Structure 1
């Protein structure tokens, strides 16, 4: 008897009917679509008890997803440029234009308007004021009588001095203040007393250059050097006891002329100079001693007022002693004189 292989025993419980499988698949899809969870087949999962071993990740944010942008890029469309057609002028149009132009020019020439006349006439300009540069424009004159105790020598007259004729007339100039502070004059005089100083204190005044300028720096070295022989001639003729050069630049010019070169920095000093540099020396007279004082101009800011006073005070002490001798020789005093 032939052996018949036993077919594997089929368990009806393990077979899933097709209808049931289709039904379960539809239930799975419906459950998955509605709950967004793991599908559960109750027949194959022991009535859903295996569902507890499934792990599902739930979304943590409830914000709706961003919608894609619906904005569409815009494109520019450019239309081609249209060129205008230009027709060359004909001989007829040219002649007509020429006739019109000639007729217009004739009419404008025959009947000028007030507007054309006004625009064509130039506006009158004021003539420029000529600068004061010549010596004849200065009204200041020298006050150098013979045998002065002190002759004050300035650089040149300023503009206001040249107009008024009074020495150191600008209000910013410290000349008259320094004369009083140092004791050279017992009272402070105004610039209008320029020509009274020889009679009151035996003090005179002159300049190395006569041409007035706004500032002494406008003078050249050549012009300054040319005034040195003229100054020495005045000193030689009038023979003052001492000469005060009001400003460093005057002494530099005298040094260049007498020594033949510029003065070195270590050679310059304010105050009394060596007797070998006396001015106006001639046979029988040793000349006038030279005292170099600071400038009194308000434009010069190289030294303070106190530094200038220290230099002028040295000269003032000498003048006070010499004035006593002069007053005794004259037979009268000038202290406390009030000048009207």
Structure 2
């Protein structure tokens, strides 16, 4: 899956890894039932609910998309800890190159494993990657039943407000 990325974005959203469906169609968060795109709109990040085919339009708004691990799987739990840790190292290099203001990792469990932060919680993180602030958000996958769209929208809106405040 090619990244949707440019230098100095406001936020680089970082999924765990592409779904098999997304890998086939070539768009991030494309699997039916994924709530990423409705969540961005609910949070006030996009002017309407984008379709996955509109992913490049995020760049004009200052947002992009990447993944911790490039390998597509049916579910993220098929990734092993070593794979997530290697992905975090590659992500650190990508962040150093593109220098987004925020890196928003979508999935607290994956963040904990990938970055070796077993007690990490949602929200802003105390550590940074260079000058890039780290933020952890829930995974918007439809398989994540812990968060409904309204709660996802509120949590993503917290990040939007932090971005707007500088």
User: TM-score w.r.t. structure 1 length?
Assistant: 0.47
The answer to whether structure 1 residue 297 and structure 2 residue 141 are counterparts is yes
Deviation, 1:272, is: 0.9
Segments of 5+ residues of structure 1 without an aligned counterpart are: 1-139, 257-261, 282-286, 323-340
Matches within 5 A, 1:259-270: 263-264=118-119, 268-270=120-122
Q: Distance in 2 between matches of 1:271 and 1:298?
A: 20
Aligned to 1:193: 54
Aligned to 1:309: 153
Paired residues of 2:88 and 2:115 also in contact (CA < 8 A):
no
Q: Name which structure has the greater RCO, CA cutoff 8 Å, separation 6+.
A: 2
The answer to whether structure 1 residue 278 and structure 2 residue 128 are counterparts is yes
Q: 1:156 aligns with which of 8, 17, 24?
A: 17
Paired residues of 1:183 and 1:320 also in contact (CA < 8 A):
no
Q: Distance in 2 between matches of 1:194 and 1:304?
A: 22
Count the aligned residue pairs: 166
Paired residues of 1:184 and 1:320 also in contact (CA < 8 A):
no
Deviation, 1:273, is: 1.2
Q: 1:202 aligns with which of 52, 62, 76?
A: 62
- Deviations along 1:256-304, one digit per CA (max 9) or x if unpaired, are 1xxxxx513xxx3211111xx101x2xxxxx200110011011111233
Matches within 5 A, 1:227-238: 227-238=87-98
Cα RMSD after superposing both structures:
1.6
Matches within 5 A, 1:165-204: 165-198=26-59, 200-204=60-64
Deviation, 1:319, is: 3.9
User: TM-score w.r.t. structure 2 length?
Assistant: 0.92
Segments of 5+ residues of structure 2 without an aligned counterpart are: none
